[in-house]
Amino acid sequence: MEADRRMGVAVDFSASSKNALKWAVDNVIRKGDHLILITIKPEGHYEEGEMQLWEVTGSPFIPLSEFSDPVVMKKYGVKPDPETLDIVSTAARQKEVEVLMKIFWGDPREKLCEAIDSIPLSCIIVGNRGLGKLKRAIMGSVSNYVVNNGSCPVTVVKHHD
């Protein structure tokens, strides 16, 4: 597995996920790795088309050249922000890594754990919004769930304002 490392980063285009992505590129990603961005969209009720097929298994792997194209990404219902695209484009160029995106639909906690096994990932890096104890108890922490239920090493990158 060492020669074919698949490094997952959970991305929702928030400040904390961009922070986790930057940390992953600076500290974990190395030449020859596959950097796989995992995006989870809320469950939708799609009447027809490709999204209905992908709701169960997730989208096919989307190469960087395609997820940089707003027209292509519109069919997935995802709009990557310029800062995230800049981070991964630079990483692909400078570190010589292959960057892919995979989109899942459903509960982020369950779908991230599912992604670990279905891709399969060597490790996953997730951001942490820094919710207080009360909010975390009420809303539940995605990162905490993945740490406790994921079947690969999980790194949580804390977000600092």
pLDDT digits (tens, 9 = 90+) for 43-65: 765 545 555 566 678 899 999 99
- pTM of the shown model: 0.87
User: Which one, of 74, 80, 43, lies nearest residue 58 by Cα?
Assistant: 43
Residue 77: predicted pLDDT: 83
Burial 97-117 (b: 16+ CB within 10 A, else e): bebbbbbbbbbbbebbbbbbe
What is the pLDDT at residue 4?
86
Over residues 119-134, mean pLDDT: 82
Beta-carbon neighbour count of residue 56 at 10 Å?
9
Note the pLDDT of residue 139.
45
Q: Using CA atoms, how far apart are residues 79 and 69, in angstroms rounded to an integer? A: 9
Q: Are 9 and 122 in contact (CB under 8 A)?
A: no
Q: Which of 14, 64, 3 is nearest to 40 (CA)?
A: 14
CATH 3.40.50.620 is right for the domain spanning 2-158: yes
User: For residues 67 and 73, is the Cβ–Cβ distance under 8 A?
Assistant: yes
Question: Is pLDDT above 60 for 117?
Answer: yes
- With cut-offs at 50, 70 and 90, classify the pLDDT of residue 35: very high
